[in-house]
Structure 1
Amino acid sequence: MKFVDNAVITIASGNGGRGAVSFRREKFIPKGGPDGGDGGKGGDVIFKVSHNITSLLDFRYKPRYIAENGGSGQGNNKKGRDGKDMLITVPVGTEVIDFDSGEVMADLTKDGEEIVLLRGGIGGKGNTFFKSSTQRRPRFAQPGMPGTVRKVRLVLKSLGDIGLVGFPNAGKSTLISKLTCSHAKIAPYPFTTKTPNLGVYLGDNPDGSAKTLTIVDIPGIIEGASEGA
């Protein structure tokens, strides 16, 4: 499995629902007052950290995450239903960075941590809200507020479970390539590895459940190896 330490995705919170224009209709009240309910709130975009996830590979195959829109209000002062939140689960050590500005929107370092990154739009007010002494039968309502769309880069800062340390040209890159199918540069001369290579090993726990280990191939320990000197 190839280790992926960054991915670009699009996230969007839900739009708020439209308020309703409605009037009471009862047997002996043919021209009742307004009873239009408010629209529901749009769903939020929430990021949650889990130690059970060790890479960002899955985000390459699903690049769009959109929360649900809020429902429209109804008569009899019924509020529209709130949109369902979009929950995005990421590994420990993930940074969420705005793709356009480079702003760090979240630095997720604790297992179980949750953060609301985008708030859903507020639902619009139904016509009941606009009734007044001068406006007895308002025939208008508010649209819901739009949600927010952002393109973000996810960057995983991983320390790794296992570090391979040794002298230059000792075969560390070859070993990590065989164990994890990573594509580390390999050549018959010293100082080939100038930056750490990362790979994920897939195995099994004694109980049969899946186990993943992040392995880091560190540049040779001789001074200047990281620069290829």
Structure 2
Amino acid sequence: MFIDTAKIYVKAGDGGNGVVAFRREKYVPRGGPSGGDGGRGGDVILKVDANMSTLMDFKYKIHYKAERGEHGQGSNKFGRDAEDLVIYVPPGTIVKDAETGEVIADLVENGESFVIAKGGRGGRGNAKFASSVHRAPDFAEKGEPGEERWIILELKLIADVGLIGFPNAGKSTLLSRMTAARPKIANYPFTTLAPNLGVASFGQSSEGSFVIADIPGLIEGAHEGQGLGYEFLKHVERTRLLVHVIDMSGFERDPLEGFYAINQELASYSEELAKKPQIVAANKMDLEESRINYEKVKPLLEKEGYNVIPVSGATGQGIRELVQVIAKTLSSIEKPEAVKEVESIKYTLEDEKPFSIEKGGHVFYIRGKAVERLVAMTDLENESAVKRLQRAFKKMGIDDALKAEGIQPGDTVKIGNSEFYYVE
């Protein structure tokens, strides 16, 4: 089964906590602070593996969590950084934020990687806070929480050849004839609800092969999202060559009318898609009606520059010739360089606002990565650490901003998962 979408949860590792420690050595009555820093939490990294072709693995495992960094120790010993968690995805995977739908990354090339969730920084031990004024700090930082998010993985099928045509045109049968693929086949619309992949071979070398995708059938109005609409069209965008399969029997629709209807849908969706080279596979030639229609249709399509190959998925007639024509056509089409739909989002601190304030009655919500990170890394059970946090708030301008918003003593201030009561 071909899985082309998956929703997963990723959680980067938290940073290890810094530690409060002091030197305790013989003949050193007033040893200084010696608490070491915590280690960095592991990142969650998406990496392209060319050996993968589906998102099947993500159907069975949804949650992915990297390890946290090791806590610091006394004697200025730093905690060990955690290993990154690498999640392998097939080429052509688009990554979206599940909450906003925003495209985060477009992963195409083999070996390409992207950090989808950054591990938290290790907290600083008390040795880092020593100064000429504070010679014996009795607090340390907690590790920074690792990033977490739900993401959607969407696989845009990357194949050399895409089989297109109306439902029941015989695409799945042709795929099974040309390759070792065994798609589910039946005589009703939308038998193929997801793309099937197959590899057709010719010649003796491994280079003499190409990947064919049997893509879900199309109906009029697909470019507007009707039927399988977008699901069909998005999968043919990265193919190099289209094989247009026509049911020449005319039992369900006139072969020429069907041919032009499909091409109109392609053009309505994307001009670039409509310009892709096409080979016409005149299918079901084992039927008398098909042979009669073929004599009428072939000269008309050839006059427009199309190469029309008579085939029969039922008997195997013309399959070898079709494979040879496809291979010859592909040899004249350069493989396109990997094209990204979007540039991957980069992690930047420069673009962050220090904080923002939203008021809801007597509750003031302070949001911003910098301030939320500061609170998350503060040991709120430690009086010295809380005083340092208060000084940081004042330096950042939070106190003045809250007063400007009309905060009163006793009002509630919420930052991340922490809650405070405002006191002058």
Q: Structure 1-normalised TM-score?
A: 0.81
Aligned to 2:84: 85
Quote how far apart the aligned CAs of 1:161 are.
4.5
More deviation, 53-62/173-182:
173-182
Aligned to 1:102: 101
Quote how far apart the aligned CAs of 1:200 are.
3.7
Deviations 1:61-90 (A, max 9, x none): 111111110111111111111111011111
Aligned to 1:115: 114
Of Structure 1 and Structure 2, the greater helix share is in: 2
Structure 1 residues 214, 10: CA separation in 2 closer, same or farther (over 3 Å shift)? farther
Helix, strand or coil: the match of 2:59? helix
Quote how far apart the aligned CAs of 1:186 are.
3.7
1:199 paired with 2:196, answer: yes
* Cα distance between partner residues in 2 of 1:104 and 1:201: 29
* Cα distance between partner residues in 2 of 1:145 and 1:90: 28
Aligned to 2:66: 67
Helix, strand or coil: the match of 1:8? strand
Deviations 1:13-41 (A, max 9, x none): 11111001111111211431100011111
User: Structure 2 stretches of 5 or more lacking a match?
Assistant: 205-209, 218-244, 247-258, 266-424
The counterpart of 1:215, out of the listed 213, 216, 221, is 213
Structure 1 vs Structure 2 CA RMSD: 3.0
* Cα distance between partner residues in 2 of 1:140 and 1:90: 43
* Cα distance between partner residues in 2 of 1:73 and 1:18: 6
Structure 1 residues 44, 52: CA separation in 2 closer, same or farther (over 3 Å shift)? same
Structure 1 residues 41, 65: CA separation in 2 closer, same or farther (over 3 Å shift)? same
Greater C-alpha radius of gyration: 2
Structure 1 residues 133, 213: CA separation in 2 closer, same or farther (over 3 Å shift)? same
* Cα distance between partner residues in 2 of 1:62 and 1:201: 26
Structure 1 residues 21, 186: CA separation in 2 closer, same or farther (over 3 Å shift)? farther
TM superposition outliers: structure 1 runs of 4+ over 6 Å: none
Aligned to 1:140: 139
Identity %: 47
Corresponding residue pairs, total: 216
Q: Structure 2-normalised TM-score?
A: 0.46
Residue identity opposite 1:51 in structure 2: A
Structure 1 residues 165, 140: CA separation in 2 closer, same or farther (over 3 Å shift)? closer
* Cα distance between partner residues in 1 of 2:137 and 2:40: 23
User: Structure 1 stretches of 5 or more lacking a match?
Assistant: 207-211
Helix, strand or coil: the match of 1:128? helix
Residue identity opposite 1:216 in structure 2: D
Structure 1 residues 223, 193: CA separation in 2 closer, same or farther (over 3 Å shift)? farther
1:39 paired with 2:35, answer: no
Deviations 1:106-144 (A, max 9, x none): 111111111222211111110001112232221110101
Helix, strand or coil: the match of 1:155? strand
More relative contact order in 1 or in 2 (CA 8 Å, sep 6+)? 1
Helix, strand or coil: the match of 1:14? coil
Structure 1 residues 135, 42: CA separation in 2 closer, same or farther (over 3 Å shift)? same
Of Structure 1 and Structure 2, the greater strand share is in: 1
Residue identity opposite 1:86 in structure 2: L
Quote how far apart the aligned CAs of 1:173 are.
3.3
5 Å matches for 1:129-168?
A: 129-165=128-164
